[in-house]
Structures are given as structure tokens and as C-alpha cells.
Amino acid sequence: MKYITVREAAQKWNISQRLVQQYCVDGRIEGAAKFGSSWAIPDNAQRPVPLQEEPTQKVPEAPLPRLRPCPVSAGKTAHLLPMPLMNGAFQPGHCMEYVEGLKDPRLRDIAMAEYHYFSGRPEEAAEVAELYLSYPEQSLRLSACLIYAYANLSIGQIQRTRYIVAQVRRTLAAANTRTPPQLRALAVFTVTAAAVLLHLPLPEEVGPLQEQLRLLPPGLRLFGLYVQAHHTYLLGDYGKSIGIVETALAMQAEVYPIPNIYLHLVAVMDYMSLKQPEQAERHLLAAWALAQPDDLIEGFGEHHGLLGGMLEAVLKKDWPEDFKRIIAITYRFSAGWRKVHNPVTGHDVADNLTTTEFAIAMLAARGWSNQEIADHMGISLYTVKHFMSSTLQKLNIKQRKDLKQYMLR
């Protein structure tokens, strides 16, 4: 019988080597045998069917979107408000009232697509946004592109995400001196937001977002500051990132729930990196107070791995059903996120850990002791040790110091 290596099986089945190793350890690959520290896998072995609870389930790729005319008349092609819900100033609990109050049906459509996305319903978000991917008015088109790209990450249609991001970059590359400055600023914002949130290098053709912020409407300007703070976090300057957040929160005359949720979440990331969980909890609860009344929970799922176990420590006990939905978002979003991030960066972010294992591993990789993790997450020391042991086994490593290479930055 012919055998192949773990690496060859991973390439053949389009999954990570760690997941193949885990299948071998679990006895789920018929005929697999271990020789020393290596596994030999029969060449004709079938990939095990993923268990329901595993975060990586392959979704059949759908065709690229057909750029078809929108059923809503273009009417006047004057510059319209981009991302109208993100730009919406409203009190928590009045999100739908704000959306329904938008007089232009095109803005209502885009706002509804945003609401579907930010409430964790990517299929519905993509369905509405797709109608505007070829719309003649650029603000609506770029808004639709941003929503559509991120919705398809969670749906598992990665080629659609890549296709739309490339379309936006072409739009930016085509900008010239006759392009209205506000539209160029919007294109820079869209490209930069996509790159930073995917932890990808910024495209060379994109200038600093900071230079464009003054040209953006208030809500988008605030979300742009979140993008800046997130980028600064990725550079490891947590104090500066916090400064951006605090300045953005202090400068507002009105409440913009969506950008504020994301600003508070990046502050949680910063304070957990500085090992200040009390300050992190303050920002997490502030984000939750803005999000929960309108079910705007998507951002919590997106950022789970970066929040240092704060969702488990703060939300799980008092809001168990919301916590379950957030974790479901995390699995869907992170699976798509890794499929874009890992190949581009060469960074092998772990794809075979549960959310609890990942949260504990992130803290351990940042130097937290088992006892500190247990106290923070409200679990026993034994439970932490159990999760650490299973994590090391799944990643096929022996020491905590090796965790960092498989974690988020």
C-alpha cells in the first residue's frame, strides 16, 4: 500500500496539517499509522467528515456575483450618504426606527444590508448588497462592496470576497484629479478597512487613511478612527491605540452606536494586551450597552479571539443565549477570515481549536499563568490545564512558548 505524509494529505484535502494530525490522533483516518514522531496515511484514505462542532467546515463555492441592474431607479446620481447605518446617530434600541426613517429607498436598502450584517445575518446582508454592486452612484456601490465582502467571509464564499476587494482596489486605482475628494476618501477608507480588519498589509496605492478622515461623514470618520486604532494595535503600540479610542469617544456630539461598539472593542484588545482586565471590562460593557438593545452583536463575534477571554468572563454568565450566538458568529467569520489571511501573510493562525481553547491559548501566549487565566475567566485551574493540554496536542507542540506562532497578533 502507498502512503503519504501529513503535509501531502493536508494539500490533497485542502485543510491544515494540524487538523490532519488531529484526525490521526483521534483515529479518524482509516489505516493511518505512526512511525516515530510522524504519521503515514494511506494514499487512498478519505478525508474524515468534519464533526458538527468543529469550526472548519467546507462550504461549496458559489459562482461570482452577476453585476446586474438594481431594481431601484438610480434617480439623481448626486453623492449620497455612504454606509447610512454606520453613519447613523441614534439612541440604542431605536436602530430600526432610524432605518425606516430614511426617506431615500436606496439608503434604506443599504442600511438594511448593514443591519443584517451587524446583527449576524450575513446571507441576508449579501442578498441586499449584491443588488448595488454595479450601481452607478459610487457611495452606494462602495458601501455595498464593503458589506458584501465581509458577509461572504462568514458565508464561506471566499472567492466572492476576494473578487469584490479587487474591484474596490481597481476603483481606487482609477481615481484621478477629476474624482471628487469625498469619493476618493471613501475608496481609501473601504480598501484600508478591508486590509486592516483582515490583518493584511496595506496596498501600496493607498495613502494614509488619516489624511482622508476629514472628508468622511461623522460616523464613517469614527469608524475610520477605529480602523486606525486597530492598525496601531497590530503595531503593538497599545497606549497610542487607546489614545485614539478615547479621543474618538470624547469628540462626539451625538451617539453613533456602530462605530462606538467597534471603538470600545479595540480598547478591550488594548487593555487586555496591557494586562488591565478591569479597564477592558469597562469598555466591553460599554460596547454591550450599545449593541444589545438592537442585537448588533456581529463585532463581538469578529473580535472574539482578540478580546482575551473577556466574552467568557463577562457575557457568558449573564447573557448565555446571546453568548452562544456570538460564538456561532465567531466560528463562521474566523473560518473565512483565516482563508484570506493565512495564505497572504504566511501566518498559520490556528484553525482547529474551540473558541475557549483559543481564548486560553491567546492569554497563555501573552504570558498569563494558568492561575491568572482561571481567575480571569472564572473557571478552575484544572479546567485551564485541561484546555492547555488539548491545545498543545492539537497544535502538535510541546511548550507554551510555541503557542505564539499560531495565535492572532
Q: Give the CATH number for residue 180.
A: 1.25.40.10
- Which of 339, 377, 372 shows the shortest CA–CA distance to 355? 377
Both 359 and 235 in one domain: the answer is: no
pLDDT digits (tens, 9 = 90+) for 13-46: 877 777 788 788 778 898 898 877 688 999 999 8
Asked if residue 340 lies in contact with residue 279, where contact means CB atoms within 8 angstroms, the answer is no
Range of the domain at 31: 3-42
Q: Is residue 80 part of a domain?
A: no
Whole-Å CA distances, 147 to 126, 160, 336, 363:
7, 12, 15, 31
**40: helix, strand or coil:** strand
Q: CA–CA separation, 332 vs 337, rounded Å?
A: 9
> Does any domain span residue 87?
no
Residue 232 and residue 123 share a domain = yes
Are 19 and 135 members of one domain? no
> pLDDT at position 374, please?
94
25 plus 100 within the same structural domain: no
Q: What is the CATH number of the domain that holds 369?
A: 1.10.10.10
What Rg, from alpha-carbon coordinates, does the chain have? 22
Phi, psi (rounded to 5 degrees) for 3: -120, 155
Residue 269 shares a structural domain with residue 188 = yes
Q: What was the pLDDT predicted at 319? A: 95
In a shared domain, residues 114 and 175: yes
Pair type for strands 3-4 and 38-42 = antiparallel
CA–CA distance, 62 with 152 (Å, rounded to integer): 10
67 burial via Cβ count (<10 Å: 0-12, 13-18, 19+): exposed
Q: Does 359 share its domain with 278?
A: no
Same domain, 269 and 210: yes
* C-beta atoms surrounding 248 within 10 Å: 23
Residue 144 lies in a domain: yes
How many domains does one find in the chain?
Answer: 3
Written as nine digits, the cell of 161 is: 470576497
pLDDT at 13: 84
Q: Which residues of the chain have pLDDT under 50?
A: 51-59, 67-78
Is residue 161 located within the same domain as residue 280? Answer: yes
Is 309 part of any domain?
no
Position 317 in a domain: no
Q: What is the pLDDT of residue 62?
A: 61
Rounded Cα distance between 95 and 8, Å, is: 50
Measured distance CA(311)–CA(405) in Å, rounded: 23
User: What pLDDT, on the 0 to 100 scale, is given for residue 11?
Assistant: 84
